[in-house]
Amino acid sequence: MVPTTMALSSKKSEDSAAAAAAADPTTTTTTTTTTTTTTSSMGTLPSMATSSMGTLPSTSSTSSKKFSDHHLAILKECYGENPNPTAKSLRSIAARAGLTHLQCKAWFQYQRKKRKKNVLENQSESLYKEIKLLVEDLGRAKERNAALLTENKALRRNVEDFCNVADGEGAAEEEEPTLGTAAKRPRTMAADASPGSEQTQDPLAAIKAALLRPPAGASSTVSKPLDVNNVDVSGQIASNAGDHVKRASRVVTRVLQGEGKNTQVQDAVLHSQEAQQVRAVMFQSENPMDIITVLMKSLDDIVGDKGKTAQQKEQEVGPLLDSFVKAELAIKDAQLSTRKKLAGQLPLLPRKRDPAAVLQPDLHVRSESVMCIFNMSYLGYAERSLCLMGEASLYALFVQAYDLINLEEPIPFDQIMLMHKFREDLKKQETELVCKFEVGFHLPYAFVERHRDASVRSHVESVLATSAEDTSALMIETMEGAVKVYKEGIAKCYEKLPPLLCARIFLAMHKVKQILRASDGFYQLLVK
């Protein structure tokens, strides 16, 4: 009786399992496994072995039974709409697909993990590629630096002569700070020179003193002069511009608090009327009919709109970026044409200042020579700090924009790598431009910035006078090269960087220039 009863109960359980399987296909495997295990436990070991041997390899078949093509189509469609559904959404998806709530939840979790793994793998691969590129760029940079240190030995000897001060034979030793290693000075003074004449003075000592002291009218608004011994001119310009941006930010805060104009005499910056007129012409061509202002306002509104997705923003900023780049390139051409016309009407160097004219103020901002145009001396100290051969250094401007973007919102890692690569390309181009200038003029670029100092001026004048070519034409050609580097950098930024990132960079650059210009206006004092 017992075996018969057990057989009947076993048969009944199998029938119930079959009925359940017919009602819910997803439970077929589980029910069958349970039935087989129960039967084997009652005494048939072979059936147990069969069930255990048949359960392990049936994973794929189980998966296919759990999720048919119809199930997967529904799940993938729902996953594309929302990868992170709520519990309520999961229940509706399960009812729609004919699955259980837990099955849908497990499938969605697996898909999210798989996507995250793919993203991490792609980021790691991208990171390794960028690191490899950075290592290669570092190697090339070291090679370029080594070449810069060894090439043009004549120029380097001149720089050492300018910066090193040594006592002549029989001269008394003086303890003075030197810019380099002391060297013997050749005795080139005229025999019939009077004791008080310029020929009897030490020209090297005068040049050294001019390089060490700040420019005339120096105050807290004046930036540090470029170091003659530092080959990283673009880096120095970016550093000086960064100091001015910080100072200008404080000025803007004072203006917003109601302080309209500087009242400290020592901080006043004297502007000539000629410089103001040149600035007016430049600014007029910089923003014709307020085109740049309108474009920047539109870009700012789109980038700052929280109600739009990144894809929508990219579609909207694309045409605006295209218009901005075209307008910016045309503006730079117009400004270059204006500079060339001005340079054709001005002398190479400003007229010498009469030491007896004590009552005549020494103007800090002026436009009276080709050198003034070349050094953008018609601008205030803050905006002028970006100058590189008559044009703003795009590398220095990009560095300030990068810092400003980081303050507003953190930048994703992949975009940081793109910006670093772009920044190094800019620096490489500007370094080559400076090297070409120094080789062509046989003159350190830092000397050109100090052309108004009497001692430096005399040497610059003598070097330029010995040049076989037209110096003014060379200056204009150099300014054309600087504008070309700027325009190529703007175009590459638009072509190589993502649209939203490019828009943020252009916006930040525009804000930096506005901040510097506002600071100059705060300290400006017009001299009639």
pLDDT tens column, 148-186: 666 555 555 555 555 553 334 333 334 444 333 333 334
* Residue 219: per-residue pLDDT: 53
Dihedral, CA of residue 291, residue 297, residue 301 and residue 303, to nearest 10: 80
394 or 42, higher pLDDT: 394
Query: Does residue 191 have a pLDDT over 50?
Result: no
pLDDT band at 313 (very low <50, low <70, confident <90, very high): very high
Burial of 48 (0-12, 13-18, 19+ CB in 10 A): middle
Query: Does residue 118 have a pLDDT over 90?
Result: no
What is the rounded distance in angstroms from the CA atom of residue 37 to the CA atom of residue 31?
10
* Residue 88: per-residue pLDDT: 87
* Residue 61: per-residue pLDDT: 42
For a pLDDT cut of 70, what percent of the chain falls above it?
69
Q: What is the mean pLDDT of residues 118-133?
A: 81
> End-to-end distance of the chain based on CA atoms, in angstroms?
126
Query: Does residue 195 have a pLDDT over 50?
Result: no
* Residue 440: per-residue pLDDT: 82
Long-range contacts, stretch 163-167, CB < 8 angstroms, 24+ apart? 163/208, 163/211, 163/228, 163/229, 164/204, 165/202, 165/204, 165/205, 165/208, 166/204
> Using alpha carbons only, what angle is made at residue 486 by residues 501 and 415, rounded to the nearest 5 degrees?
20
Over residues 71-81, the pLDDT tens digits come to 888 888 888 88
180's tokens:
């380099």
* Residue 164: per-residue pLDDT: 52
For a pLDDT cut of 90, what percent of the chain falls above it?
28
Q: What is the mean pLDDT of residues 294-300?
A: 93
* Residue 327: per-residue pLDDT: 93
The continuous run of DSSP H or E covering 392 comes out as strand 391-392
Mean pLDDT taken over the chain = 75
Q: Is residue 313 within 8 Å of residue 331, measured between CB atoms?
A: no
Query: Does residue 46 have a pLDDT over 80?
Result: no
Residues linked to residue 387 through DSSP beta bridges, in sequence order = 392
510 or 286, higher pLDDT: 510
* Residue 361: per-residue pLDDT: 64
**Residue whose tokens read 């004449």:** 197
Over residues 413-427, the pLDDT tens digits come to 889 999 999 999 999
pTM exceeds 0.85 = no
* Residue 455: per-residue pLDDT: 73
Length of the chain equals 528
* Residue 197: per-residue pLDDT: 41
Query: Does residue 397 have a pLDDT over 80?
Result: yes
Helix, strand, coil shares of the chain as percentages rounded to 5? 70, 0, 25
Query: Does residue 60 have a pLDDT over 50?
Result: no
* Residue 206: per-residue pLDDT: 52
What is the rounded distance in angstroms from the CA atom of residue 319 to the CA atom of residue 328?
14
* Residue 7: per-residue pLDDT: 46
Q: What is the mean pLDDT of residues 297-319?
A: 92
Output the CA torsion sign for 213, 216, 218, 224: negative
* Residue 501: per-residue pLDDT: 94
Q: What is the mean pLDDT of residues 400-423?
A: 89
Q: Is residue 396 within 8 Å of residue 236, measured between CB atoms?
A: no
Residues linked to residue 455 through DSSP beta bridges, in sequence order = none
Query: Does residue 4 have a pLDDT over 50?
Result: no
Query: Domain extents for the chain?
Result: 1-45, 75-147, 151-185+198-213, 223-353+361-527
* Residue 165: per-residue pLDDT: 38
Q: What is the mean pLDDT of residues 124-134?
A: 80
Question: Worst-scoring range by mean pLDDT, 253-267, 380-394, 397-411, 474-488?
Answer: 253-267
Largest CA distance in the chain: 145
Q: Is residue 17 within 8 Å of residue 35, measured between CB atoms?
A: yes
Query: Does residue 15 have a pLDDT over 80?
Result: no
* Residue 157: per-residue pLDDT: 57
Q: Is residue 416 within 8 Å of residue 129, measured between CB atoms?
A: no
Which of 132-146, 162-176, 191-205, 510-524 holds the top average pLDDT?
510-524
> Which CATH number, 3.40.50.850, 1.10.260.40, 3.40.30.10, 1.10.10.60, labels domain 75-147?
1.10.10.60
Query: Does residue 49 have a pLDDT over 90?
Result: no
